[in-house]
Structure 1
Amino acid sequence: MPTILNHTYKSILFVLLILLVSTSLNGQNVLYDYIELSSKNGSTESFLSEIESQTDIVFSYSNNLCFKDSLNLPIQSGMVREVLDAIFVSCPSNYTVRGEKIIIHPITGDKKKYVVKGYVIDKHTKEILIQANVYEPEILLGTVSNNFGFFSITLPEGFAHLASSYVGYQNQHHYLNLTKDTTIYFWMEPKEELDEIAVLGERVPGKVKSSRAGIIDVPIEQIKKVPVFLGEVDIVKSIQLLPGIQSGGEGFSELYVRGGGPDQNLVLMDDVPIYNSSHLLGFFSIFNADAVNSVRVIKGGFPARYGGRLSSVVDIRMYDGNSEEFKGTASIGLLSSRLAVEGPLIKDKSSFSVSFRRTYFDILTSVWQLKEADKSRYYFYDFNTKLNYKLSKRDRLHFSTYLGKDRYGISYNEQTIEIEQPDGSKVSRKEYDESDVGWRNYVGSVRWNHIFGEKMFANTTLTYSDYRFFIDQSSNYVSDGSWSKGSQNYYSGIRDLSAKIDVDYLPSPKHYIRFGGSMINHTFYPGIDVQLREITSSTPIDTTFGGTQMYRQEYRFYVEDDFHLFPRLKMNIGGHFSLFQTESNKFYWSAEPRLSARYLIKDNLSVKLAYSQMTQYMHLLRTSVVAMPTDLWLPVSDGIAPMRASQSALGLEYEISKGFNLSLEFYYKELSDILAYKETAGYFDFASDWQSKLTAGSGQSYGFELLLHRKMGNLSGWFGYTYSKSTNQFDELNNGLEFPANFDRTHDVSIYASYKFSKKMDMGVTWAFGTGNPITLSETKYYAPQLPTTEVPNKSSYNQFINQRNSYRMPNFHRLDIGFNFSKDKPWGSRLWSVGLMNTYGRQNPFFLYFSDVENEQTGDIERSLKQFSLFPIPIPYVRYTVKF
């Protein structure tokens, strides 16, 4: 019996001890109390005595601890741990805390190190937080959470203070006594009021700032407050307001980054490439903001893990879904309605996120056109789903899909025709000439996350991406006394199947190693099919042109290391290697070095340097300067080489004061083997192969970007300015002379301001200015009479003379947009009214220019003038109603 009682007594004491230690470790540790010494000069004993007199701390120490009679400390105030480290800098020591007692003992030999790993997660929704900062503020070591919220950091044995910060969330802290490898979770609590809004990415403690130049993390909550056309929250339109990133024209959602074209941007949705990210011919992007977790834009200093494009990477991650409770958002606006629902499937195991958006133009127009002979219809929709399942503490599965489609159709030229039946009778029916245009994206991915050991995280992904578009045009006419129908069917697209693996390895806090590889099977669908058939038969009687499928293989490998070379010098060095197979089994290859470096001049001032090479194995052939469904993706071939680019950047980042930043970055980029149509070739020139219609050239782009940004307070926002120059040179174009690129814009200014009047009301204002885009205009129109030998000698025509390509510029662009948000909490959730006015002062920005010939009534002469067409010449209001439940 005494033995049993003794055992029970010890067990109870052990449990109480564990609870006591646990409580003390998770509470505020006395090592992190703030103190201020009376002087920097003194002895070891006097400093310890002064600390004891200022606090309730009692010191206990080993006889082997080194004491000095005279010390000159580098600091006079700070946390107790910082002061102790300064006192014992010549004989490093460890500290053990027992309540108010600190035991100091010298470190003998190499100090053991342990790994702390885990996830950074939203406390309420259990949504993972991407690129959250995780750091030890005292010894100035840190890392970031990856795209799945995972982090790993190696710290010395003993007491450690580990903190995490993320924009829009309160900082969280863990106080640990490390005696073994440990797993922890940062449960981040959202702030009711944002102290700062970060556009350049959250500012981390001085010694753990990113080594990367040209990277922008865009908070999704800020995107939702930017005034946008017809109240449609648009991720890409918000990105366009940042320095170095431009739109192709008023209203367009394409990206032109540092002189590059829209095809040179790698747009990723949960690691899957998107080949057309626009709705409504480029006026809206396909990304439903209600389904998006994070947005990252990389415009220079590309990490080695990205490849395949020349100008930028837009990495978009979708919500996993709330794993605690069911929540939803519903919204209705002038153009579309949206619905998003998320919630748990299996408690603490699985969650889902589903969102849907659709326009109702087709429904409204069908009512307006009930009595009209000509009818038109248009709609687009987006459908996002994402599921995740926690297999174990080390394994997780993610499933995500996206379905999106645009379709526009018009029926016109109504005719009543008579069709003879087999029995000789005739039947009347109405026929229309018709035109249909459509394009769609089908995207899917399956991802498996696995943690190997304590320092390695692997993500294995299978992806599917299918982009298609079509144009169907048909007309009815009489041929040899019978009705016939001529049709032109254009069908094209690209489909990818890929498998890849990405590995994050963190051997120590000073190294973050990433490596991986992928294999992609591309299928290209170029083709035009023109057919003639009788109206009473579906069998074609003539086929004039057709296309064939092309199958191509692509392989990619990369390795990179983000490391501290010196305390103030951090670097990222890596390489990206790729192979691409052509139609004759020839391989193009590329070895692309990547380098970024950051040097801290002061804790609030850093200089950054970056160099990267990029290769692109596919081209987008365009029929105009704006996005059209006839734009055609085609691979490199034996005769068409891949496009290549090299870019250098030098930047300065200065924190003027808390929440007030200034950044300046210079860049220079060279491009080779870019493509353009020859001056004598046309898109629908069926007589020649598509490769023979193209010519290759080179280009260069340089400039600088300035951003002055206030991130805190009720009034926040930024001022951005970009100066850039982009030129192209083709031996077979413009007489071989250099000319401005189609997307060259010398000056670009953007101002965004947000003011929070109260918890219930805020206001957003944007103003943008841009130099007019270059265009090609004819300089002379001359009479070209027909030869006398022609059948109709009296007829004549005119030709136009073009002296130089892109030698004129459209008028400058500028526009002011204003929006207000009115929110109110309800018992079931909240409601939000969003109202605003686009193009507030009615600026008539040019959409395109054209020549108009008008006859002078007095002289009879034909007078020619240049005119412009404005897409939105007047102020356009918008309203949207949103509820959250």
Structure 2
Amino acid sequence: MPIILNHIYKSTLLVLLILLINTSLNGQNVLYRQVELNTTTGSTLYFLSEIERQTNIVFSYSNQLCFQEEHQLTMQLPTVRQLLDALFINCPSNYIVRGSKIIIQPIDGEPQKFVIKGYVLDSSSKEALIQANVYEPELLLGTMSNNFGFFSISMPKGFVHLSSSYVGYKNGHHYMNLESDTTIYFMMEPKAELDEIAVVGERVPGAVKSTRTGTIDVPIEQIKKVPVYLGEVDIVKSIQLLPGIQSGGEGFSELYVRGGGPDQNLVLMDDVPIYNASHLLGFFSIFNADAVNNVRVIKGGFPARYGGRLSSVIDIRMYDGNNEDFKGVASIGLLSSKLAVEGPLIKDKSSFSVSLRRTYFDVLTSVWQLKEVDKSRYYFYDFNTKLNYKLSDNDRLYFSAYLGKDQYGISYNEQFIPVESPDGKQTEQTVKTYDESDIGWRNYVGSVRWIHTFGNKLFANTTVAYSDYRFFIDQTLNYMSDGVWSKGSQNYYSGIRDLSAKIDLDYMPSPKHYVRFGGSAISHTFYPGIDVVLREIAGSTPVDTTFGGTAMHRPEFRFYVEDDFHLLPRLKVNMGGHFSLFQTESGKYYWSAEPRLSARFLIKDNFSVKMAYSQMTQYMHLLRTATVAMPTDLWLPVSDQIAPMRATQHALGFEYEISKGFNVSLELYYKKLQDILAYKETTGYFDFASDWQSKLTVGNGESYGFELLVHRKMGNLTGWFGYTYSKSTNQFDELNNGKEFPANFDRTHDISIYSTYQFSKKVDMGVTWTFGTGNPITLPETKYYAPQLPTAEVNGNASYNQLINERNSYRMPNFHRLDIGFNFKKEKRWGSRLWSVGVMNSYGRQNPFFLYFADSENEQTGEVTRSLKQFSLFPIPIPYVRYTVKF
């Protein structure tokens, strides 16, 4: 009997607890019930009675409240809270919810505030959601989660409804009576079907809207649906489809942003700079999409925390790793295979993420060349890993690393070398040898970071990082010396290595201020082309000789501070400064103080105007050997003779939301470049008679234009239309007779259309169409005979010369291309499988890769005709297929 009574007692308590919880939650929600007003004119008492009549809410209040005889309201269907805020606008009050009763309590003086801090995380993987919106929808106070998902916001004492939103996730909500500082977690659930896919950051309510201009957040799931060359999902090629961003040519993964060159882009992988972000001479980028969590592109209005480049910031964040379950994805395509695995090391304490990608060109070519004398091979690979460990609620450690390499090799000049037997007698035995050449480049990147929260409002991220980029050429030759077979080798390498330490601090004193400040120290080591020759003559000591420049060590120091704050209810401002020092070879310091300012003004809740001003400084240059990026391009620092490059940019933007999920944005910009570099017309890369500084000339540049984006984010049919009009020019006193000329990748008109259609949960289609004005090109206008001088010692050296009148005075034919791709998904017991098929250059457009002159002779008359021809890299439709499994 006591056992039965005890069971009934526990059951009764459980039922009462459930009822109390439900009552409490329903009570918390009564402030957000809507009220229909028959009139917008009346007294305070009238409107309170109307609320009670429609909602069954009972009010309790003090006689100290400021009741008015008449209100003129502008709302038709307000929530209870919105109506109460309007009624008591002259005497701010707290609303304490007790079931269906609301106690209205006047506030004496400034309302007491408490801090709500926490993290925004994926509910299943516990992965941080970067730049999620956290806000109070009624008070229109809010903030955003940082790069680790952390947020902090101060709210008035009393009832609080805090919401969180993130692209592709259901909105999260927390209801609470705030009586003290509180820590919460938003565990966001992905939507079963993405009814809203954003490429420009999701719009947030009213005054919470960002001040950022020229910033695009690209969801990684959107990137994976873009039709791509040979089925290789490529982050950089997806970025090229956005307004204001252009590629260097068909198939290349370079980025030319608002008139700037590829070396003017700061590419960050988990805050570590990457100096060469391409594989296969620029056809693919090094970023494995299966390892990437977040991609952000900044084209203008640069926040003060970024520095060191002139044109853009590509901020890429890698996955931390699933904290709950082991998961993976594997795929195989025409070019490469990929594998990514993530999971917990210690559940809720530590996790890992590992991904690997590798081509198999070398495997295939080894089969094709079995009977060939000369053999070639090429491959590239990527390896990413990230580990994290939760030390405490306030401390976490991260370790991340990337290793990537391209290598092309060839074995040629097959020879059979006689060998001696062990007893020293000459035999007829021979050994087959080859001369060999290897060319390659690689990136090694690593970082260790510690994040810590000091109290409720200060977040610190301390990072030690290493980045090493190298280009190399290795050559081995077998030769006969004094009747003996000997060996010689030559090794050339160049690159840049960084070792850095930095600290970034986020301080959130109130919802109206978000302060960031920090600093860094960087040790740069430049390798400006070092050539090592080794001779190994049989029977003698090897001789090792080094040519070229020695390593150059250059320190750099940076400091920044910025504040994102509300100046007026509808005016939000981001103001800050970036300060830097760079030391040259003689100990001279270049310094820079760069002001940054951006602002957003809400004309209406769905229409905003933005403006931005920024100055940028760059202390290193990429010396180009061709019109396209090559691994042989040299990274070199400023010197006593070569000053830093500087840029000033102004931007004005408009953003209008026509309806939910349908946005239009327009941004105008003007950018001025100073002290940019180019080779002199009388010299070049292979002019070894002088040092690199004397080969260069200094000039200025100018770029202006506007970018239009029409973007539909909801429904089965989603996508965008982007149009860019731009003009980019350069002027050098020593080039083109001092006259202004179009920049190498000036493109007047650029159009990109991207669309996806979801036929069902199993099938979707992606289509891209791009158009661009032809790039400028320098062509000779006259070919003339240059006879040999009578005093020449050698006869028969007469030749033809060409006259170039103006630089970049012609343009290549216009570029356009259509790519189509389909994805077929099927759920399996163990996960899912995905077939991706498509066609690149669907209608076989022969876009020019480069132009050249060719002579043809008439067999009957002997007349030679010269004509301009083009070489097309992808002149026919190119299909692709990729198979992917998730487990």
Q: Normalising by the residue count of structure 2, what TM-score does the alignment of the two structures yield? A: 0.95
Aligned residue number for residue 653 of structure 1: 655
Superposed CA RMSD in Å reads: 2.2
Q: Normalising by the residue count of structure 1, what TM-score does the alignment of the two structures yield? A: 0.96
Q: Deviations over 1:71-93 (max 9, x none)?
A: 22232321100011111222222
Aligned residue number for residue 549 of structure 1: 551
Aligned residue number for residue 645 of structure 2: 643
2:871 is aligned with what amino acid?
Answer: F
Offset of 1:23 from its aligned partner?
6.6
- Contact 1:26/1:175 (8 A) holds in 2: no
Offset of 1:538 from its aligned partner?
9.0
- Measure the CA separation in 1 of the matches of 2:627 and 2:489: 27
The SS at the match of 1:300 is coil
Which one of the candidate residues 677, 689, 692 is aligned to 1:690?
Answer: 692
Aligned residue number for residue 4 of structure 1: none
1:633 maps onto 2:635 in alignment: yes
How do residues 523-538 of structure 1 correspond to structure 2 at under 5 angstroms? Answer: 523-529=525-531, 531=533, 533=535, 536=538
How do residues 452-491 of structure 1 correspond to structure 2 at under 5 angstroms? Answer: 452-474=454-476, 488-491=490-493
Offset of 1:68 from its aligned partner?
2.4
Q: Which deviates the most, 791-800 or 226-235?
A: 791-800
Offset of 1:871 from its aligned partner?
0.7
- Measure the CA separation in 2 of the matches of 1:538 and 1:90: 97
Q: Which deviates the most, 720-729 or 732-741?
A: 732-741
Aligned residue number for residue 838 of structure 2: 836
Offset of 1:65 from its aligned partner?
2.1
The SS at the match of 2:152 is strand
- Measure the CA separation in 2 of the matches of 1:780 and 1:419: 59
2:464 is aligned with what amino acid?
Answer: L
How do residues 475-514 of structure 1 correspond to structure 2 at under 5 angstroms? Answer: 488-514=490-516
Offset of 1:549 from its aligned partner?
0.4
How do residues 197-212 of structure 1 correspond to structure 2 at under 5 angstroms? Answer: 197-212=197-212
Cα 1:475/1:723, change in 2 over 3 Å: farther
How do residues 596-745 of structure 1 correspond to structure 2 at under 5 angstroms? Answer: 596-745=598-747
Offset of 1:813 from its aligned partner?
0.7
- Measure the CA separation in 2 of the matches of 1:849 and 1:230: 25
Cα 1:718/1:17, change in 2 over 3 Å: same
1:206 is aligned with what amino acid?
Answer: G
Aligned residue number for residue 580 of structure 1: 582
- Measure the CA separation in 2 of the matches of 1:157 and 1:528: 66
Aligned residue number for residue 3 of structure 2: none
Q: Deviations over 1:233-269 (max 9, x none)?
A: 0000000000000100000111100010000000000
Cα 1:832/1:641, change in 2 over 3 Å: same
Cα 1:399/1:469, change in 2 over 3 Å: same
Q: Which deviates the most, 424-433 or 191-200?
A: 424-433
Q: Deviations over 1:604-659 (max 9, x none)?
A: 11111000000000000111111212111011111111110000001111111111
Offset of 1:787 from its aligned partner?
3.3
- Contact 2:821/2:837 (8 A) holds in 1: yes
Aligned residue number for residue 342 of structure 2: 342
1:167 maps onto 2:167 in alignment: yes
Aligned residue number for residue 851 of structure 2: 849
- Contact 1:846/1:870 (8 A) holds in 2: yes
Offset of 1:861 from its aligned partner?
3.0
Which one of the candidate residues 500, 515, 518 is aligned to 2:517?
Answer: 515
- Measure the CA separation in 1 of the matches of 2:539 and 2:331: 47
1:277 maps onto 2:277 in alignment: yes
Offset of 1:785 from its aligned partner?
2.7
Cα 1:21/1:111, change in 2 over 3 Å: farther
- Measure the CA separation in 2 of the matches of 1:300 and 1:18: 53
- Contact 2:484/2:538 (8 A) holds in 1: no
- Contact 2:28/2:99 (8 A) holds in 1: no
- Measure the CA separation in 1 of the matches of 2:19 and 2:645: 63
How do residues 293-312 of structure 1 correspond to structure 2 at under 5 angstroms? Answer: 293-312=293-312
Aligned residue number for residue 6 of structure 1: none
The SS at the match of 1:53 is helix
Q: Deviations over 1:663-696 (max 9, x none)?
A: 0001000111111111122212222111111111
- Contact 1:715/1:753 (8 A) holds in 2: yes
- Measure the CA separation in 2 of the matches of 1:23 and 1:350: 38
Offset of 1:45 from its aligned partner?
1.6
- Contact 1:26/1:174 (8 A) holds in 2: no
- Contact 1:310/1:614 (8 A) holds in 2: yes
Offset of 1:728 from its aligned partner?
0.8
Q: Which deviates the most, 311-320 or 419-428?
A: 419-428
Aligned residue number for residue 866 of structure 1: 868
Offset of 1:798 from its aligned partner?
1.9
- Contact 1:590/1:615 (8 A) holds in 2: yes
Aligned residue number for residue 352 of structure 2: 352
- Measure the CA separation in 2 of the matches of 1:27 and 1:553: 61
Aligned residue number for residue 151 of structure 2: 151
Aligned residue number for residue 402 of structure 1: 402
Aligned residue number for residue 139 of structure 1: 139
Offset of 1:484 from its aligned partner?
6.8
The SS at the match of 2:456 is coil
- Measure the CA separation in 2 of the matches of 1:141 and 1:842: 53
Aligned residue number for residue 446 of structure 2: 444
1:727 is aligned with what amino acid?
Answer: T
Aligned residue number for residue 812 of structure 2: 810
Cα 1:40/1:443, change in 2 over 3 Å: same
- Contact 1:787/1:793 (8 A) holds in 2: no
Offset of 1:437 from its aligned partner?
0.8
Q: Deviations over 1:489-512 (max 9, x none)?
A: 320111111000000001111000
1:850 is aligned with what amino acid?
Answer: Y
The SS at the match of 2:183 is strand
Q: Deviations over 1:329-352 (max 9, x none)?
A: 000000000000000011110011
The SS at the match of 1:78 is coil
Cα 1:734/1:765, change in 2 over 3 Å: same
- Measure the CA separation in 1 of the matches of 2:257 and 2:63: 64
Aligned residue number for residue 5 of structure 1: none
Cα 1:757/1:738, change in 2 over 3 Å: same
Cα 1:334/1:557, change in 2 over 3 Å: same
Aligned residue number for residue 5 of structure 2: none
Aligned residue number for residue 783 of structure 1: 785
Cα 1:25/1:586, change in 2 over 3 Å: farther
The SS at the match of 2:674 is strand
Aligned residue number for residue 387 of structure 2: 387
Q: Which deviates the most, 655-664 or 729-738?
A: 729-738
Aligned residue number for residue 4 of structure 2: none
Alignment gaps of 5+ in structure 1: 1-8
- Measure the CA separation in 2 of the matches of 1:856 and 1:591: 65
- Measure the CA separation in 1 of the matches of 2:815 and 2:20: 67
- Contact 1:291/1:384 (8 A) holds in 2: yes
Cα 1:61/1:512, change in 2 over 3 Å: same
Q: Which deviates the most, 297-306 or 197-206?
A: 197-206
1:588 is aligned with what amino acid?
Answer: Y
Q: Deviations over 1:352-377 (max 9, x none)?
A: 10000000000010011010011110
Aligned residue number for residue 3 of structure 1: none
Cα 1:27/1:764, change in 2 over 3 Å: farther
Aligned residue number for residue 321 of structure 2: 321
Q: Which deviates the most, 828-837 or 784-793?
A: 784-793
How many residue pairs were aligned? 875
Q: Deviations over 1:710-764 (max 9, x none)?
A: 0100000000000111111111111111111112111100000000000000000
- Measure the CA separation in 2 of the matches of 1:532 and 1:188: 61
Offset of 1:27 from its aligned partner?
7.2
Identical residues among aligned pairs (%): 81
Aligned residue number for residue 593 of structure 2: 591
Q: Deviations over 1:580-614 (max 9, x none)?
A: 01111110000000000111111111111000000
- Measure the CA separation in 2 of the matches of 1:562 and 1:453: 21
- Measure the CA separation in 1 of the matches of 2:536 and 2:798: 36
Offset of 1:552 from its aligned partner?
0.6
- Measure the CA separation in 2 of the matches of 1:635 and 1:307: 16
Q: Deviations over 1:150-200 (max 9, x none)?
A: 000111111111000000000011111111111111010100111111111
Q: Deviations over 1:498-536 (max 9, x none)?
A: 000000001111000000000001111122426474675
